[in-house]
């Protein structure tokens, strides 16, 4: 019986892209790190997403997708941060332990979708209320803290309800942000010196 299951498990792992890579142990120890801005006017986004634990569905996320609502352009969607990278041991780690960092150009944005870390890599599309709750506007260079989004599991883990936790209730997140921007041009914004 077990011999029959092994090929199925191997095929499922291949289909989900879950086979470990040679660089994965290296990547596991990389700290959360903010990428440097590539042009003037960009804003750094910092946030935290927590999943309520359960037996079915994701317990964490591996990718965050944004959509821009202003200025409006057709089908403007982009990946803010992801763990699905080729040669990721040599790239900046933008997601770790539920925290994420990313860079956006001026405009109004909202979270559109999360990709879960479960075997099937569940796609969690935000509904209208969820997108509105995560909306933010980047108008000038700086750092925007989106706060904490707690994903509460619904019946049997088939759906989630997003609850926004006030930033003041998690002061330890400031230490995570400071470590992520240490030595980068973003550090000037926390010290109050202005432009990156």
pLDDT in tens, 151-176: 888 776 667 888 888 776 778 899 99
Angle at 163 between CA 158 and CA 164, to 5 degrees: 145
pTM of the model: 0.78
Rounded to an integer, what distance in angstroms lies between the CA atom of residue 119 and that of residue 130? 24
Q: What is the mean pLDDT of each run of 10 residues along the chain (196 residues)?
A: 45 45 67 90 93 77 88 71 69 88 93 85 86 91 92 76 78 92 92 57
pLDDT in tens, 95-121: 999 999 999 999 999 999 888 888 878
Read out DSSP for 147-172? EEEEEEE-GGGS-EEEEEEPGGG-TT
**Domain spans in the chain, listed from the N-terminal domain onward:** 20-191
Q: How many CA atoms lie within 13 A of 85 on its CB side?
A: 18
């Amino acid at each position: 019986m077990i011999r029959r299951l092994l090929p199925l498990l191997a095929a499922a792992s291949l289909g989900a892209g879950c086979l470990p890579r040679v660089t994965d142990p290296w990547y596991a120890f990389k700290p959360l790190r903010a990428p440097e801005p590539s042009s003037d006017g960009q804003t750094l986004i910092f946030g935290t997403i927590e999943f309520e634990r359960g037996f079915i569905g994701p317990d964490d996320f591996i990718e965050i997708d944004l959509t821009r609502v202003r200025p409006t352009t057709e089908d403007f969607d982009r990946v803010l941060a992801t763990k699905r990278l080729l040669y990721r041991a040599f790239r900046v780690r933008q997601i770790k332990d539920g925290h994420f960092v990313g860079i956006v150009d001026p405009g109004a944005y909202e979270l559109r979708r999360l990709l879960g870390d479960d075997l099937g890599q569940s796609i969690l599309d935000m509904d209208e209320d969820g997108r509105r709750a995560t909306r933010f506007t980047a108008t000038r260079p700086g750092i925007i803290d989106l706060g904490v989004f707690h994903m509460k599991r619904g019946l049997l883990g088939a759906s989630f309800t997003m609850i926004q936790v006030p930033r003041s209730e998690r002061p330890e997140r400031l230490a995570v942000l400071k470590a992520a921007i240490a030595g980068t041009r973003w550090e000037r914004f926390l010290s109050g010196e202005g432009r990156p």
